Amino acid sequence: MKRLKCTVAYDGTDYSGFQVQPDQVTVQGEIEAALNRITGESIQITGSGRTDAGVHARGQVIHFDTSSQIPLDKWRFVLDNQLPDAIVVRSVEEAAPDFHARFDVKQKEYRYCIDNAPVPDVFCHRYADHIRFPLDVEQMRLAAGHLIGEHDFTSFCSAKTFVEDKVRRLFDLRVEREGERIWVICRGNGFLYNMVRIIVGTLVEVGQGKRHPDELPGILAARDREAAGKTAPAKGLTMWEVLY
């Protein structure tokens, strides 16, 4: 048996998230079905994290164990041949036997894309949330600065989560404009359920003038989901990179 580590990209629009769910089409389910067809083995993959329905990935990392004799340099091509067009294996490498795609993660980066044009771009509507009203990026940047560091992010976590420890560290939270696109780039040691999308929704309200940047410390201190902004739509979010 050997352990393989893969970097996977996918368009999450038509999937019910990454994790296998009964009677649902998921990214994990598609990859495991492809592996089972290729190897004849009953293989379960482990991902670096779970993405929700409609969320995309550029750098999701998975691992799995196999006794297959397929040469390492052929794995990517064999897998891509068996996967739907919306899922692509970007790289495959052999990992140490004790490598774990989830537990060994040091940092993750998510990026959220906002289409801030007056008229939506039809060619990016699956990957960006369209907001036609102008956003004040400088005010959004000032607000984002209050969230960098280690905090209890209860206010920025879905009330549906069962996780008790809601302390996380954000190493970087940037708001960048590229023409009519606005990117919210969030890098941390881990993320709570809907955390990035709630952060984005709150920053958007700052950009619209509905909140002041200096409200952010109070929102953190409240430890109350109702204190923060709306949850931004899933389609604008991409798991960008995982670092080990």
CA-nearest of 39, 31, 36, 38 to 8 is 31
How big is the CA angle at 21 (ends 16 and 25), to the nearest 5 degrees? 45
Q: Is 236 helix (H, G, I), strand (E, B) or coil?
A: helix
Q: Give the span between the Cα atoms of 27 and 231, in whole angstroms.
A: 23
H or E, element range at 139: helix 137-145
Q: How many CB atoms lie within 10 A of CB 140?
A: 26
Query: Pick the catalytic residue: 14, 23, 52, 165?
Result: 52
> Can 11 be counted among the known catalytic residues?
no
Distance CA 116, CA 130 (A): 6
Residues tagged active-site: 52
